[in-house]
Structure 1
Amino acid sequence: MSLAPDRVIRGLLFDRDDTLVVDVPYNADPHLVVPVPGARRAVERARAAGLLLGVVTNQSAIAKGLATRAEVDATNDRVDELVGPFDVWCVCPHDAADDCACRKPRPGMVLDAAERLGVPPEALVVIGDIGADVLAARAAGAQGVLVPTPRTRAEEVDAADTVARTLAEAVDLVIAAAEPSLVERDRT
C-alpha cells in the first residue's frame, strides 16, 4: 500500500505512545520516556527532507486525574528532547466519555496542527499505531499510515489505507511521496 500520488505533502504528524516512545500507560514521568528503536533517526530523516513535524496525542490521564497538564507537558518535553524537536504539539486532555472534538479518532488535533503549521490538512500525513490515529487523519482530510504493534487489532490493520512494518518504513513512504512537492515548494 502507498500514499495517494495526487497529494502535495508538506508535513508529518506522529502519534506519541507506541509510535515515537514505548507506551507507559498514563505516563506523567519524563524519566520513564524511552524512544521506540529508530524513532530519533526517522524523525531526523523527515526533518532533513523538509517536512513540517508535529505530534498529536490523546492523554486521558489528565481527565482521569492521574496526571496534571504540567506533568504531561514535561513528559512531552522529554520526548521532544530525545526524539524531536517538533514544530507543534497537540494534546487532547479529555477522556473518551467527554465527547470532545479533539480526541482521536476525531479530527480536532489534526485540524489544529494543520492550522498551526500553516498548511491544509490534505498536506499532512499522520503516522500511528492504532486505528484511531488513521481515522483521525481520514476525518480531517489528511492521509494516515498505520505502524502496527502487538496491541494493534487485526481489524484496524485491515481498515487502514496504508500500513508500514516499521516507523522507518512509514517515514520512507511519506518522504518518497513528498519529495516532488517539497522540491516544488523550495522553488516558490
Structure 2
Amino acid sequence: MSKFLADPAPDAAFWSEQMTRVAADADVDCFMRIYDHFAPRLKRYLLGQGIAPAQAEDLVQEAMLRLWRRARSFDGSRASLGTWLFRIARNLHIDSLRRGASATAWPDDVELLQDDEDGELGTSGPEAFTDHVGLGRAIDALPVAQARLIRMSYLESKSHSEISNELGMPLGSVKSTLRRAFAKLRRGLGGEA
C-alpha cells in the first residue's frame, strides 16, 4: 500500500504542495493524486446540481484540464485547492448553461457570481467565501431564515427547487430571499453590495 493511500485525510497544505509540484514541474503523479481525490467529488457535486451524468463527466474532465493548464495561477493563500476546483466546475456549468437552451434552469442569482476568466479565484461567489475565517460568523449574523437558505443552497449544494420543496416555501420566495441574503453576506464579509 502506498503512503498516499495510507493517509486517510490529506489537508489543504498537502493539496497546495501537490499543486506547487504540478505548476513547477508538470508532475503527473501529483496531478493524478489530485485527480483521483477531487474528480469523484466534483462529479457528485455536479450531479447534485441536476446535471446529466455524461455532461457532469465532461465538465469534470474540462475542470481537471483547466487545473493542469492553469496550475501556475493557483494561489493556496487565497483559497484551498478544493474551493478553486469547485469554482472552476461551477463556472464551466454556468458557461454550458449560457451556451445551451437550458440557461433558464440556472438560479436567478447567477449574475452575482464573477466569471473565472483567468482561472483565478474571484471574490464574489459563495465558494470564494469558504476559506474566510469569518464566514460562519457572517452567516450567523444574518436573519435566521436567510442563514438557513444560504447554508442549504451554497454549503449543502441544494437546488432552489429542493429548498422550496423541503421548506414548503414558494420558489420565487426562495430565490428572492437568497438574493437578499447573499447581498448581506457579501457586505458582512467586506464585499460590494
Both proteins in one fold, TM over 0.5: no
Higher-strand-fraction structure: 1
- Give the number of the structure with larger relative contact order, counting CA–CA contacts within 8 Å between residues 6 or more apart: 1
Larger Rg computed on CA atoms: 2
